[in-house]
Structure 1
Amino acid sequence: MNHGIKLSQHIFWIGVNDRRTHLFENLWPLDKGISYNAYLIRDKKNVLIDTVEIGHVESYFDAIDEILESGENVDYLVINHMEPDHSGALKLITQRYPDITLVGNKNTFKFVRGFFGDFKRILEVVEGDTLDLGDHSLTFVMTPMLHWPETMMTLETKNQILFTGDVFGSFGTLDGVLFDDEVNLDDWEPEQRRYYSNIVGKYVKQTQRALEKLKTVNVRMFAPTHGLIWRQHPDHIVNLYDRWSRLDGDPGVVIAYGSMYGRTERMAEYIARELILAGIRHVKVYDASKTHLSYILSDIWKYRGLIIGSPAYNNRLFPTIEALTIKLEQLHIKNRLLGLFGTATWSGGGVKNLIRFAETTGLEMVHPPHEAKYRPLEKDYEICRDIAGRMATRVKNDE
């Protein structure tokens, strides 16, 4: 992808695409890669907005060199977020431009010192502070815990471009595109939702506070650190974030199960068919041992109904289902209708721990949990049919 793509006459995207890294944060699959977006404002005072992951620093420097004239200085580096995929090149930048001033808030510099040591040339900003560059000026908007304590946004006021950090970002590389009006937005939504639900999703209250704050800020364009730049339809991503942070689910059901020898799986398949027969048109069935939980979480964020099945495993939940329930507890999942089922042989423990999960999260169960002994028999399938029927009724009535 070409470097130095213009957002306006003197504001440039200088990011990179990463198609080599397999796991974001060494945890989340990057089947479609990811972009690290960074920006350069050229003015009487030249400003970098964030850096890139350190493995891509050569491309980042090349982009800067293509825009600036030989010997031209960079005066400021604005640090919206200190996570290393955005601050990785910080130390190299300060070595390249020894007179550069780092711009951030009080928490930013705690992270700077922790990661890189002390720097003498820093400018600490608070909510509403401005920085004059010449023809452009920057105003700073604090958005703590989206999704680190130091996160903030930076508004360039002339063109009304808001550099939003990780907020409004997405998994996926920018394959020859950069702006939202260059793509089919429906194609991007799954990776935007997977990014939100797994990276930012825990902080729904902070998301709502930030969205309220942005109503008072005049913004024409959102420029996040991952994914598309929103120049034509910024309201689209705002509406998605509002819906996701409220956990307003679409009329559909996710069935997530674990199964060693297929008995719990049979119950999951039966429930899925009964949901379809009951009129639910969006049913997603996941074997938690096969599908990474980030994709399961993304669809749980999308749909109103959630049905979880697990066999007993050493008196506990099946491990991949246990991992899913722990993550859902950490994310403070709410506003979901819940169904629970499973199998046991001699001691049980799967459904018992699913009940504990339901009690911890406070999710509403549409049917008493059911555990089949040894293998599901006709009486167990009748109960599965009832679980599906009650779930379908509630999902359709809650539309």
Structure 2
Amino acid sequence: MKKITEDIYYAGVNDHQVDLFEGQFAVPNGMAYNSYVIMDEKIAVMDTVDVNFGEEWLANVAEILGDRKPDYLVVQHMEPDHSANITKFVEAYPEAKVVGNAKTFQMIENFFGLNLADKQEVVTNNGTLSLGSHELTFVFAPMVHWPEVMVTYDSKDKILFSADAFGKFGALDVEEDWACEARRYYFGIVGKYGAQVQALLKKAVTLDIEKICPLHGPILTENLGYYLDLYQTWSSYGVETEGVMIAYASVYGNTKKAAELLGEELKANGCPRVVVADLAREDMAECIEDAFRHGKLVLATITYNGGVFPFMQTFIDGLKERNFQNRTIGIIENGSWAPVAAKNIKSMMEGCKNLTWTETAVTIKSGVKEETKAQIKALADELWSK
């Protein structure tokens, strides 16, 4: 039984069965589904967990409760990895009320066919719920990253229960760097909704927060400014790390060679960080994360069926879907008889805001030759001058 404060406990579970989170994101270190119990004159359970861990979660809750019964189940987010055990909770504790907003209860009926008319406590934005010494304030956070999402502030212990915000991939029994997997999680899942995250951050800075309790990942208790600053950068599509990412798609190795040569030239020019990624072989979510992390991006691809190579197409689609913007972009195109990748890339990215295209463009006709190397050096000099 893990205590977070004198009367707030952790009731969540670790999942090492899952291989793909949301059916697409590789999670080699598993996932945590977090749930919390606030013990007061009245007791509130904060969210449930994934369907595969219902019994384990209910056992955790029962251990914390002892001989008491919960008064409330607060549902902050209706994705099934957090809401799947609402029915089991209601069956186990029929006298408890379920707390959510109007959209929450619509989704509960949609997902589970569960009509909670006699058990529901419908809250409004900035509405409150008193448990005794703990007063909970519910702050709506629509589209971070579903429309019903709300976060909860406990004024007694100065805790923000942040729903999916400030979450990360990885189970809690595995030690790993927070920022790497939180960044991949953010841009993979929440990245499209920067404006909505910005709105939530503006509300958060008005609160006196000492701990952040997300629905995934560790409880954040120290140096909260670090996490808030990262979220500010990510949600405003700012540059986190000065450097250049080179994303390439190559068939016979010539485009790969050009990408690696550019990387070497950039390092020789003193570029502080250079990332070279093979889009066909590396995790696409990691590649998208790196594109958003750095201020400059180079797209290197062959011309394929009059367009670009499929992995490059997928990569660009992923960037556009997440509102990629505020970056400098260079292009390396390859085509044996009709190189048109550069034209296609620019057309594909027309909807992205505040992109600056390099004046230097590299065109390879099959193999890398001396004139190609000269173009690559010129591109490196434009991207990062000595």
Structures share fold, TM-score greater than 0.5: yes
**TM-score, reference length from structure 1:** 0.92
Q: Which residue of 2 aligns with 1:308?
A: 299
> 2: distance between equivalents of 1:277 and 1:370?
19
> 1: distance between equivalents of 2:55 and 2:373?
60
Q: Is the 8 A contact 2:299 2:332 kept in 1?
A: yes
Q: Which residue of 1 aligns with 2:104?
A: 108
> 2: distance between equivalents of 1:229 and 1:204?
23
Q: Which residue of 2 aligns with 1:211?
A: 201
SS at 1:335 equivalent: strand
> 1: distance between equivalents of 2:247 and 2:3?
44
Q: State the shift of 1:368 in Å.
A: 4.2
Paired AA for residue 43 in structure 1: D
Of 42-51 and 285-294, deviating more is 42-51
> Which contiguous aligned blocks of 4+ residues in structure 1 show a shift greater than 6 angstroms?
none
Match 1:131 to one of 125, 129, 132: 129
CA-to-aligned-CA distance 1:209-235 (integer Å, 9 cap, x gap): 111111212222110001111122222
> 1: distance between equivalents of 2:263 and 2:124?
52
Query: Are 2:283 and 1:283 equivalent residues in the alignment?
Result: no
Match 2:167 to one of 145, 166, 169: 169
SS at 1:291 equivalent: coil
Q: Is the 8 A contact 1:105 1:126 kept in 2?
A: yes
Query: Are 2:259 and 1:268 equivalent residues in the alignment?
Result: yes
CA-to-aligned-CA distance 1:49-71 (integer Å, 9 cap, x gap): 0111111112211111211124x
Match 1:19 to one of 16, 20, 36: 16
SS at 2:325 equivalent: coil
Match 1:32 to one of 29, 33, 45: 29
Q: Is the 8 A contact 2:76 2:163 kept in 1?
A: yes
Q: Which residue of 1 aligns with 2:218?
A: 228
CA-to-aligned-CA distance 1:258-309 (integer Å, 9 cap, x gap): 0111111011011101101111021000000011111011111221110011
Q: Which residue of 2 aligns with 1:331?
A: 322
Query: Are 2:49 and 1:57 equivalent residues in the alignment?
Result: no
Query: Are 2:192 and 1:195 equivalent residues in the alignment?
Result: no
Paired AA for residue 223 in structure 1: C
Paired AA for residue 81 in structure 1: H
**TM-score, reference length from structure 2:** 0.95
> 1: distance between equivalents of 2:99 and 2:350?
45
Q: Is the 8 A contact 1:37 1:225 kept in 2?
A: yes
> 2: distance between equivalents of 1:357 and 1:253?
21
Q: In the superposition, relative to structure 1, how do residues 267 and 284 fare at CA in structure 2: closer, same or farther (>3 Å)?
A: same
Identity %: 35
Q: State the shift of 1:338 in Å.
A: 0.4
SS at 1:388 equivalent: helix
Q: Which residue of 1 aligns with 2:228?
A: 238
Paired AA for residue 94 in structure 2: P
Q: Is the 8 A contact 1:315 1:349 kept in 2?
A: yes
CA-to-aligned-CA distance 1:135-174 (integer Å, 9 cap, x gap): 3221111111111111110112211111000011111121
> 1: distance between equivalents of 2:340 and 2:76?
46
Segments of 5+ residues of structure 1 without an aligned counterpart are 177-182
Segments of 5+ residues of structure 2 without an aligned counterpart are none
> 2: distance between equivalents of 1:366 and 1:342?
13
> 1: distance between equivalents of 2:341 and 2:90?
54
> 1: distance between equivalents of 2:36 and 2:343?
52
Q: State the shift of 1:86 in Å.
A: 0.7
Paired AA for residue 276 in structure 2: V
> 2: distance between equivalents of 1:349 and 1:111?
47
> 2: distance between equivalents of 1:246 and 1:69?
45
> 1: distance between equivalents of 2:158 and 2:59?
27
> 2: distance between equivalents of 1:160 and 1:36?
22
Q: 1:325-364 residue pairs with structure 2 within 5 A?
A: 325-362=316-353, 363-364=355-356
SS at 1:284 equivalent: strand
Paired AA for residue 339 in structure 1: G
Q: Which residue of 2 aligns with 1:389?
A: 381
Match 2:357 to one of 357, 362, 365: 365
Q: State the shift of 1:355 in Å.
A: 1.8
Q: Which residue of 2 aligns with 1:96?
A: 92
Q: State the shift of 1:359 in Å.
A: 2.7
Q: Is the 8 A contact 1:174 1:228 kept in 2?
A: yes
> 2: distance between equivalents of 1:382 and 1:359?
28
Q: State the shift of 1:349 in Å.
A: 4.0
Q: Is the 8 A contact 2:362 2:379 kept in 1?
A: no
> 2: distance between equivalents of 1:270 and 1:277?
11
Query: Are 2:245 and 1:254 equivalent residues in the alignment?
Result: yes
Query: Are 2:152 and 1:154 equivalent residues in the alignment?
Result: yes
SS at 1:309 equivalent: strand
Q: Is the 8 A contact 1:15 1:37 kept in 2?
A: yes
Q: Which residue of 2 aligns with 1:180?
A: none
User: What is the aligned residue count?
Assistant: 382
Q: Which residue of 1 aligns with 2:77?
A: 81
Q: State the shift of 1:342 in Å.
A: 1.7
Q: Is the 8 A contact 1:311 1:351 kept in 2?
A: no
Q: Which residue of 2 aligns with 1:46?
A: 43
